[in-house]
Structure 1
Amino acid sequence: MDRNLADIKMSHRLMDGNLLYNIKKSIKEDKIDFVVMGTSGATGWEAFFLGTNTGAVLTAVEVPVLRVPLESKYKKMETIGFTTRYRAKDKKALKNVLKIAKKADAKVRCLYVKTTNSDVSETIIKDWEKEFEEEHVVFSVIPSDDVKGTIIDFILFKDIDVLAMNTYKRNFFVELFNPSLVQKFSNRLDIPVLAMHK
């Protein structure tokens, strides 16, 4: 089956030594755009975000890291979800997510869960909407103190194919995708996660 991937360069390396050093070396030498890492099972989330190897990769490399669970089924990436708190570092990450979305001909849905303790003003939200009005992005602000539940609803009911996040949220996402929640929603939460370098 032709997936129009003929222009994507594929190469293999077998390297001895420190994993992180070798990944960083490969990124530089091969001009790699992002790293793809696979995980398996519910505990794969904890291994992905907090594990020695992957946790080090997430914080040390300057390219996005795509985590793909073994249980994921391939489907065309049509919608990328992106959670934000309207911080400056989120804006940089969103711009990078939009570049990826353009290449994949996908749209971006941006979610902010506004809790009762929120310090984000309506002015900031409007400024972001104005700055990105020419982009293929939809902003949703949902008032709720159940942040995890709201994000899960967002993934399930907005048909999110890939969830993009900043690496500084690793602990939060371990909690979000804990085994009991993943089990509760069966394989519907087994979506790839794109961790953006902060």
Structure 2
Amino acid sequence: MKKILFPTDFSETAHNAFIYALKLAKSINAEIFVLNTYEMPVISTTSAGQPELIQSVYNSIELNNFENFKKEVPNLRAIAEKNDCNDLQLTFIFEEGIMLSILQKIITDEQIDFIVMGTNGNNSLEKKLLGSNTLHVMENIDIPILSVPKKAQFKRLTNVGYATMLRESDKNGLKQLIKITKNLNADLKVLHVMRKESDSTMDLLDSWKTEFNDEHVSFHTVLNEKIEDSVFFFIDDQLIDLMCIVKRHLNFFEKLFSSSLSKQLSYHADVPVLVLKEKVHT
């Protein structure tokens, strides 16, 4: 059985992503680990001069967060029942600490297959996940991350898109997706955007077509300096249900939710984005 980790802040965006995660889990026979975290503020003992008062404040914060968690769990179970997913195995986890560190520990301990999270570009969950101090932790998360926009609704995946710069390290992601799309009986459409015409690039593209010759895999090339426009047109023109990209090293994951192609992908209408680990060849 597959295992999905779903971090939530109980927002409207997260609830919509939860419905997506539920229906996805049901379609692939998976269980879901629902995670809610909170962080304690740093309070200086010198400012108050009363350590017992500070401890009282901490206890109050912990209690308030736990009470909210207890209140929200039945709501999530009700959402599951409403969507005919009450037979799914749901595990609820409540933790204090840095969210990404907790994510990493759960991924290891429970052998999580991938993460599903909601995104609308400005919620507190993303701020927790993508703060500048947490980027190095996210870089060490090797499992796929499915980003679900606020308007996304789960449906049968018919057309899966994959954007590539035709790097050797992108082939691993393509191989993963070919297996996934075959199991789903979906078509995989590979996009490469060229900023300028190049014979060497066309030769490289031909070699990819030969290597990944499959009736369910098609290659699409666009000549355009504005990569973003090309990708959006591709999504609409090819009726893409799920867009896939490879996580670059260092700053790539940060760029996923900053002013970049990947951010705009994540917030493009109702199309979820699957972020794959980039395989390193040594």
TM superposition score normalised by structure 2: 0.57
Change (3 A) 1:84 1:5: closer
- How far the C-alpha of 1:77 sits from its partner, in A, is 1.4
Q: Which amino acid aligns with 1:52?
A: G
Q: Contact 1:59/1:197 (CA < 8 Å) preserved in 2?
A: no
Q: Contact 2:114/2:143 (CA < 8 Å) preserved in 1?
A: yes
Partner of 2:11: none
Rg larger in 1 or in 2?
2
**Are 1:157 and 2:237 matched, yes or no?**
yes
Change (3 A) 1:59 1:120: farther
Q: Deviations over 1:144-164 (max 9, x none)?
A: 222211111001111011111
Larger mean CA deviation between 26-35 and 9-18 belongs to 9-18
Percentage of pairs with the same residue: 28
Partner of 1:51: 130
Q: Contact 2:159/2:242 (CA < 8 Å) preserved in 1?
A: yes
Count, aligned residues: 188
Structure 2 CA distance for aligned equivalents of residues 178 and 121 of structure 1: 26
Structure 2 counterpart SS, 1:14: strand
Larger mean CA deviation between 134-143 and 30-39 belongs to 134-143
Q: Which amino acid aligns with 2:161?
A: G
Change (3 A) 1:7 1:78: same
Q: Contact 2:162/2:189 (CA < 8 Å) preserved in 1?
A: yes
Q: Contact 1:65/1:194 (CA < 8 Å) preserved in 2?
A: yes
Partner of 2:114: 34
Larger mean CA deviation between 165-174 and 144-153 belongs to 165-174
Structure 1 CA distance for aligned equivalents of residues 186 and 220 of structure 2: 17
Partner of 2:30: 8
Structure 1 counterpart SS, 2:30: coil
Q: Work out which of the residue numbers 232, 241, 260 in structure 2 matches 1:175.
A: 260
Larger mean CA deviation between 146-155 and 165-174 belongs to 165-174
Structure 2 CA distance for aligned equivalents of residues 5 and 142 of structure 1: 34
Change (3 A) 1:22 1:172: closer
Q: Which amino acid aligns with 1:90?
A: D
Partner of 2:184: 104
- How far the C-alpha of 1:6 sits from its partner, in A, is 7.8
Change (3 A) 1:18 1:59: same
Stretches of structure 1 lacking an aligned partner (at least 5 in a row): none
Q: Deviations over 1:124-177 (max 9, x none)?
A: 211111111136211111222222111110011110111111122553774337
Structure 2 CA distance for aligned equivalents of residues 25 and 104 of structure 1: 30
TM superposition score normalised by structure 1: 0.78
Which structure 2 residues correspond to residues 118-197 of structure 1 after superposition, within 5 A?
Answer: 120-134=200-214, 136-168=216-248, 169-170=252-253, 171=255, 174-176=259-261, 189-197=269-277
- Kindly indicate whether structure 1 or structure 2 has the higher relative contact order, using CA contacts under 8 Å at least 6 residues apart: 1
Q: Which amino acid aligns with 1:99?
A: K
